[in-house]
Amino acid sequence: MNISFDGRIVIVTGAAHGFGRAIAQGFASRGATVHVCDINAAGLEETVKLCGPNTSAHVLDVGSRADVQKLVPAFGDVDILVNNAGGVRGQVGRPIEEISEGDWQTIFDVNLSGAFFMAQAVAPAMKKKRAGRIINISSGAGIGISLTGIQAYASAKAGQIGLTRQLAHELGPWNITVNNVAPGFVRSNPTTEKQWEAMGEEGQTRLLQNIALKRLGSPDDIAAMVMFFASDYAGWISGQIVSVDGGK
């Protein structure tokens, strides 16, 4: 299966490391013009170096609708949007009674509101040309539970899955597909490295034993599913959530 994105304009959020960087590299290596967005400017510059000259970096907080609306139109007629920005914003699992309003909201801002604001910004151009791909990156936490016990993260990712299904039906008449990749646990960034270490040897062994393939995946495994959803091969697939987790 030869997948090419020659001439396509792509946005990847949360592209300063991990999944987002691997996804950006996947598109760039297949001929796309890629706009990578994140709040981490240094990480973005490293991503651009790895992707090559057809990639540009943009510091963006996707949780700010005003900032999104200001930046995205400058990219022109975007063909593909990958909503990868997310994470736990440095939080760890705590009892429900200890969670402040700010703790709750900041995770929703990046994981759910950001995906909505970005989709909202690209929809007019996609509707105009009656074509487009939107791929959201959720998590196994949105389907089941958060391994780290972070209530807002599990809730926001579940909400993003609901948003995927809703937008698939709203945008489908314009030949815009909306799909979702739900990764399992992957050691892909400083946060997941800390989570892995915190599990200890016993917890790590237990996690691996609960995976059918008995091993962890890599960011490239997630990027591969995104490439498929974004390709012409997935033209009649929409509203779907695919777990890329080694089998559960």
Is the torsion defined by CA of 104, 20, 35, 243 positive or negative? negative
Active centre residues (catalytic): 153
In angstroms, the CA 34 to CA 148 distance is 32
In angstroms, the CA 240 to CA 248 distance is 18
Query: Residue 205 class from Cβ within 10 Å (0-12 exposed, 13-18 middle, 19+ buried)?
Result: exposed
- The H or E element containing residue 74 is none
Cross-sheet strand order for the sheet of 241-244: 55-59, 33-38, 9-13, 80-83, 132-137, 176-183, 241-244
Is the torsion defined by CA of 31, 118, 71, 172 positive or negative? positive
Contact call for residues 36 and 56 (beta carbons, < 8 A): yes
Contact call for residues 134 and 168 (beta carbons, < 8 A): no
Mark out the alpha helices in 80-113 (DSSP H runs): 101-108
18-28 vs 219-230: helix crossing angle, rounded to 10: 50
In angstroms, the CA 23 to CA 16 distance is 11
